[in-house]
């Protein structure tokens, strides 16, 4: 495995994804959503996963949790192969790995009370004693900053987006999981609320000893919470590295483009004048070789012919590019 070097730096691997491929049919065509992705997440680590819409980052998150089955490849969670599990075994594993969605309001059942929504995972996992459930729900609601006495009997529509996201986080935490996939958890929230939720996720991570896969399109948001960052483009990983390093010295031209395009709240920083034209191609017919080559200023014949593999370019930094930035 090419990521073994990185792995040695961490105390232990909780999640290992090997050559994962997710493809699905669209009429007579095939959507190449995730193509040959390998990565590892160490226990206690937050791995950020960034990319633009349609790059396959959410599909990858769901395939890790087995909410969408992979076409090929393996997902190992704490040494056990999730991709080979079914039925009760998989359900048991799922208690240890949870998901938080982007749209906090749509992800809560509008007809159920907050107390029942947060208790549902406990019911499913067989906690029969109602008082025991209520105690656990109260504890986790307090942890996310909601007053259990005030919120348990109310319905989702009585709450703002930020509060609904707190409820979603409580629901994800109630089974005391080890691992949470956060899929764009703050994209639908206003700036002032976004900061509250990001801080809350960091607090919860420390309090419950969580490992996170944090999926987002906003690089600054990802940097705020991640130890390492993986950049994805059109189904493939472009670059994986320690966050501080990856942001200071991006090696992949696509990472550099993403960084360049972020509007900076400082009038002295002139916006990038030359963001390259063009848009990501369709994942139905991805370009041969390097998938970024159609938008890349450095692309040449080799990029058209050979798929670049992730390789080490600096300690803790891997890039899949034939012509990485110095």
Helices and strands (H and E) in the chain: how many? 12, 12
How far is it, in rounded angstroms, from Cα 99 to Cα 183?
Answer: 7
> What is the closest distance, in whole angstroms, from the C-beta atom of residue 66 to other proteins in the complex?
28
- The answer to whether the beta carbons of residues 30 and 22 sit under 8 Å apart is no
Asked whether position 225 contacts other proteins by CB under 8 A, the answer is yes
For other proteins, which is the closer residue by CB, 20 or 225? 225
Closest to other proteins by CB, 8 vs 191, is 191
Stretch that binds other proteins, among 60-68, 77-85, 173-181, 184-192 (CB under 8 A): 184-192
Query: Can residue 193 be called a binding residue for other proteins (CB under 8 A)?
Result: yes
Measured from the CB atom, is 88 or 268 closer to other proteins? 268
Question: What's the min distance (Å) between Cβ of 52 and other proteins?
Answer: 4
H-type helices in 157-311, by residue range? 161-173, 191-208, 219-225, 243-248, 253-261, 301-305
* Identity of the residue, 65 or 258, whose beta carbon is nearer to other proteins in the bound complex: 258
CB of 19 to other proteins, least distance (A): 27
> What is the closest distance, in whole angstroms, from the C-beta atom of residue 1 to other proteins in the complex?
25
78 binds other proteins (CB under 8 A): no
Rounded distance between C-alpha atoms, residue 95 and residue 67, angstroms:
13
CA-based nearest residue to 96, from 186, 34, 154, 174:
174
CA distance 241 to 58: 20
Interface with other proteins includes 243 (CB under 8 A)?
yes
Q: Which residue has the tokens 């509008």?
A: 110
Q: Which of 137, 212, 258, 313 binds other proteins (CB under 8 A)?
A: 258
Interface with other proteins includes 279 (CB under 8 A)? yes
Please give the Cα distance from 41 to 35 (Å, whole number). Answer: 19
Nearer to other proteins, 295 or 322 (CB): 295
* Per-position DSSP letters for 82-134, written without gaps between them: GGG--HHHHHHHHTTEEEE-S-TTTTS-TTS-HHHHHHHHHHHTT---HHHHH
List residues binding other proteins (CB under 8 A): 52-53, 160, 162, 190-196, 198-199, 202, 217-221, 223-227, 243-244, 247, 257-267, 269-273, 275-277, 279
């Amino acid at each position: 495995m090419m990521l073994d070097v990185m792995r040695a730096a961490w105390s232990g691997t909780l999640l290992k994804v090997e050559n994962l491929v997710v493809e699905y049919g669209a009429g007579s065509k095939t959507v190449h959503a995730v193509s040959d992705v390998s990565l590892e997440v160490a226990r206690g680590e937050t791995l950020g996963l960034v990319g633009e819409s349609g790059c396959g980052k959410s599909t990858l998150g769901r395939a890790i949790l087995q909410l969408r089955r992979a076409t090929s490849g393996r997902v190992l969670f704490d040494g056990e192969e999730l991709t080979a599990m079914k039925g009760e075994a998989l359900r048991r594993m799922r208690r240890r790995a949870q998901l938080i969605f982007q749209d906090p309001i749509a992800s809560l059942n509008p007809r159920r009370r907050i107390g029942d929504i947060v208790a549902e995972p406990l019911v499913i996992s067989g906690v029969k004693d109602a008082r025991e459930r209520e105690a656990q729900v109260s504890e986790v609601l307090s942890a996310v900053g909601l007053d259990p006495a005030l919120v348990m009997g109310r319905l989702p529509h009585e709450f703002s987006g930020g509060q609904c996201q707190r409820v979603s986080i409580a629901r994800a935490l109630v089974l005391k999981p080890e691992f949470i996939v956060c899929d764009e958890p703050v994209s639908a929230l206003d700036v002032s609320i976004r900061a509250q939720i990001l801080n809350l996720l960091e607090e919860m991570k420390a309090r419950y000893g969580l490992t996170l896969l944090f999926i987002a399109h906003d690089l600054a948001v990802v940097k705020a919470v991640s130890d390492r960052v993986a950049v994805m483009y059109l189904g493939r990983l472009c670059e994986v590295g320690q966050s501080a390093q990856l942001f200071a010295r991006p090696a992949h031209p696509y990472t550099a483009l993403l960084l360049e395009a972020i509007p900076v709240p400082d009038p002295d920083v002139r916006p990038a004048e030359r963001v390259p034209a063009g848009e990501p191609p369709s994942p139905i017919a991805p370009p041969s070789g390097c998938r970024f080559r159609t938008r890349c200023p450095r692309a040449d014949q080799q990029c058209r012919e050979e798929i670049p593999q992730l390789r080490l370019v600096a300690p803790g930094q891997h890039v899949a590019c034939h012509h990485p930035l110095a």
